[in-house]
Amino acid sequence: VYEMYPRLLETGAGMSIASRRLHKEGYGDYTFMRKLMSVVYYTTLKIFTSLKVSDSQCGLKGFTAKAAEEIFSLCEADRFAFDIEVILFAQALGTKIDEMPAKVLANDETTVSAAEPFRMLREALSIKKRVKRKMKENKQKKEQKRKAHYMSLHQKVKTAD
């Protein structure tokens, strides 16, 4: 955790995430079944949502104030899908994402049922659509602001003549 903020400064990233995939012992003492569920879920997410990071569910993420404000102002999800939404909005906003290796110790069994990944995938696909819609709305709002600003400047120049 204490390495995350200096890495944000060093890399110029707006977001930093921990990744079990980047550490040789990243999954620590996970059971085989938990590792398998994690890999299958991650692969499925990558295929269906265009996720561009190596680990969306590690849980540890850090942000600059600017990136946090931009990203979280758009988020709606909770539970497991929150991580995916945060990353997809960061990607859509063009936020630079730094990934750092992490080893996660998991002595307990997962609370995720076998049916949970299907619900999570359904939610992830819904988030992908929401991200696309909100980014389109944001682009339209920025364009309207730009036009209003231009019209204001144009009016001032016209009045000055």
Residue 35 near residue 110 (C-beta atoms within 8 A)? no
pLDDT at residue 123 greater than cutoff 80? yes
Q: Please report which helix (H) or strand (E) contains residue 17, including its range.
A: strand 15-19
Which pair of tokens denotes residue 143?
């364009």
The string of pLDDT tens digits covering residues 8-29 is 889 999 999 988 877 777 677 7
**More confident of the two residues 91 and 161:** 91
Note if the pTM is more than 0.85. no
pLDDT at 16: 92
Could you tell me where the beta strands, DSSP code E, fall in 27-157? 61-63, 97-101
